[in-house]
Amino acid sequence: MNNFKKFKEYLLIKKIIVILRGISVNNFEDYINLLIKYKLNIVEVTLNTPHAFEIIKSLNTNYPEIYLGAGTVTESEQVKKLSKLGVRFIVSPNCDEKVIKESLDNNLVPIPGVFTITEVFNAIKYGAKILKLFPADDRGLSLIKNYKAVIPNDISFLPTGGINHENINSYLNIAIGVGLGGSLYKENIKIQDFENNLKKFAQLLHEI
């Protein structure tokens, strides 16, 4: 089974990619242990996080339960470096042909950021199968519905940006999963507040 098939099947079960932007190199273990506890263990560490590569390396070494990816990846050279650190998927804020193709060459799943229909078709042309609709916000539901009418059936959307307790169920009805950032984890969030957020989303997932 190739990496894309594994990732797609796992995402369909877990439904959420947890985006850790700005997490501290000094205490990320506390937050990771809570993610494992609540079984939200598909994790994206963004590269604009201080010491991101160090954190990613540590997660790959010490937390085999984590299905690990990197986010805010904008250059193909970053992909080359990440491929040696154990990540399995590459998330970008934009649609970059070189990043997509470098990911595929290294058996990593590219998830490029798209918003317009031109970006959608370019991402598909470059080889991406899962597209990060970003920012999703209020327009995301209608955009996904409209785009799915004109793209191949094997292409899936991962809406990110503006996903919250109120709209997550609606998005999961039409998407392979969602990316959760600020509504779940924010830089310097207290560990108890983080766990409270995890409880809310875990409960919502059980109701879907």
The two tokens of residue 143 are: 């955009």
What is residue 207's predicted lDDT score, i.e. its pLDDT? 59
What is residue 3's predicted lDDT score, i.e. its pLDDT? 86
pTM value surpassing 0.85: yes
Report the run of H or E that residue 6 belongs to, with start and end.
Answer: helix 3-14
Phi-psi region of 104 (alpha: psi -120 to 50; beta: other; left: phi over 0): alpha
Q: How far apart are CA 90 and CA 47, in angstroms?
A: 11
Looking at residue 41, its amino acid is: N
Residue 151 contacts residue 144 (beta carbons within 8 Å): no
Burial bucket for residue 142 (CB in 10 Å: 0-12, 13-18, 19+): exposed
pLDDT tens by residue, the chain, 208 residues: 588 999 999 999 999 999 999 999 999 999 999 999 999 999 999 999 999 999 999 999 999 999 999 999 999 999 999 999 999 999 999 999 999 999 999 999 999 999 999 999 999 999 999 999 999 988 999 999 999 999 999 999 999 999 999 999 999 999 999 999 999 999 999 999 999 999 999 888 865 5
What is residue 2's predicted lDDT score, i.e. its pLDDT? 82
Q: How far apart are CA 197 and CA 192, in angstroms?
A: 9
**Is the peptide bond preceding residue 93 cis, with omega within 30 degrees of 0?**
no
**Cα 204 to Cα 15, 22, 48, 156, 166, distances in angstroms:** 11, 25, 29, 22, 10
What is residue 203's predicted lDDT score, i.e. its pLDDT? 85
